[in-house]
C-alpha cells in the first residue's frame, strides 16, 4: 500500500500540486493509532510530543499542510483486516471515508475506529503545521462521512487496491468509470495494472 501511494503521488503530481492535494503513506493513520493512548492520557494535549515520522509528513518540503496541501489522501487499515481510503479536508475538519465494503462495520464501530484520527488531527495540525489563525478551525474533533453509492467489493483480499482506486478517482472528481461503475472484472484488471506499475516504479 505504501508503494502504491508513492507511485500514485508521482503519476498525478501535476494535479496534486494544482489542487493542493497529497497522497501520503499509510503511516499517517497507523502512526496516530500507535501514539493515541499516550495522547489521550494527557490533560494538556497541546503539549503532546509527536513522533518525528508524523511531523515529517506534515512538514514535507513543498507539501506542508495548510500551506501547500489542504486535502490528504491516505489508506487506513481497520482491525488489521480491512482497508479503506480517507480523504481528509484539513481546513474544514472533514474526513470522507472511501469504504469498499461498508456493510462490514456499522457506524458506531466506525466512530470508534476513527476516533484516534478525528481527535488527534486538530492538535497535530495546530502544533506542527502552525496554521494562520484565519485558516484554523479550532481543536474540535474532525467529523466523518462514508461515501455512498460506490462499488461494493465482497471478495476477500481486494479492499486494498479498491480503496487505492477510490482515492485515485475521488482526487480527480470521480470521472468515468466512477466509483459506482467499478465491477469485479475492473478490479481484476486494476490489480494487474497496479502490479505492473509498481514493478516499473521499483525498477
Residue 36 CB-half CA count within 13 A: 17
pLDDT of residue 203: 74
Handedness of CA 62, 131, 16, 49 (dihedral sign): positive
pLDDT of residue 149: 95
Distances (CA, A) of 54 to 14, 17, 45, 97, 151: 24, 21, 16, 21, 32
Beta strands 21-23 and 71-78: pairing type?
A: parallel
Give the per-residue SS3 of the chain: CHHHHHHHHHHCHHHHHHHCEEECCCHHHHHHHHHHHHHHHCCCHHHCCCCHHHHHHHCCCCCCECCCECEEEEEEEECCCEEEEEEEECCCCEEEEECCCCCCCCHHHHHHHHHHHHHHHHHHHHHHHCCCCCCCCCCCCCEEEECCCCCCCCCCCCHHHHHHHHHHHHHCCCCCCCHHHCCHHHHHHHHHHHHHHHHHHHC
Is the pLDDT at 200 greater than 90, yes or no?
no
pLDDT band at 199 (very low <50, low <70, confident <90, very high): confident
- How many other C-beta atoms are found inside a 10 Å radius of the C-beta of residue 184? 11
By C-alpha distance, which of 41, 4, 17 is closest to 120? 41
Tens of pLDDT along 86-134? 999 999 999 999 999 999 999 999 999 999 999 999 999 999 999 887 7
Cα(92)–Cα(88) distance, integer angstroms:
9
> Starting from the edge strand earliest in sequence, which strands make up the sheet with 94-98, in order?
21-23, 71-78, 82-89, 94-98, 143-146
Is the pLDDT at 12 greater than 90, yes or no?
yes
pLDDT of residue 138: 87
pLDDT of residue 132: 83
Is the pLDDT at 202 greater than 80, yes or no?
no
Tens of pLDDT along 134-149? 777 889 999 999 999 9
Averaged pLDDT, 57-85 = 96
* Backbone phi, psi, residue 77, to 5°: -105, 130
Cα(125)–Cα(4) distance, integer angstroms:
25
Tens of pLDDT along 16-69? 999 999 999 999 999 999 999 999 999 999 999 999 999 999 999 999 999 999
The grid coordinates of residue 55 equal 511531523
Amino acid at each position: 500500500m505504501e508503494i502504491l501511494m508513492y507511485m500514485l503521488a508521482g503519476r498525478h503530481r501535476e494535479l496534486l500540486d494544482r489542487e493542493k492535494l497529497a497522497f501520503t503513506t499509510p503511516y499517517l493513520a497507523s502512526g496516530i493509532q500507535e501514539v493515541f493512548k499516550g495522547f489521550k492520557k494527557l490533560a494538556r494535549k497541546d503539549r503532546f510530543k509527536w513522533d518525528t515520522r508524523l511531523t515529517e509528513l506534515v512538514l514535507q518540503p513543498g507539501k506542508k499542510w495548510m500551506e501547500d496541501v489542504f486535502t490528504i489522501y491516505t489508506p487506513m487499515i481497520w482491525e488489521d483486516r480491512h482497508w479503506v481510503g480517507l480523504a481528509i479536508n484539513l481546513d474544514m475538519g472533514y474526513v470522507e471515508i472511501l469504504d469498499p465494503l461498508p456493510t462490514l462495520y456499522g457506524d458506531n464501530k466506525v466512530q470508534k475506529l476513527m476516533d484516534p484520527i478525528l481527535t488527534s488531527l486538530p492538535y497535530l495540525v495546530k502544533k506542527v503545521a502552525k496554521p494562520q489563525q484565519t485558516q484554523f478551525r479550532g481543536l474540535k474533533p474532525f467529523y466523518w462521512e462514508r461515501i455512498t453509492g460506490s462499488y461494493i467489493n465482497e471478495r476477500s483480499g481486494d479492499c486494498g487496491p479498491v480503496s487505492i482506486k477510490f482515492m485515485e478517482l475521488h482526487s480527480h472528481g470521480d470521472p468515468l468509470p466512477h466509483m459506482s461503475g467499478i465491477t469485479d472484472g475492473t478490479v481484476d484488471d486494476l490489480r494487474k495494472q497496479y502490479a505492473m506499475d509498481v514493478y516499473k516504479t521499483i525498477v
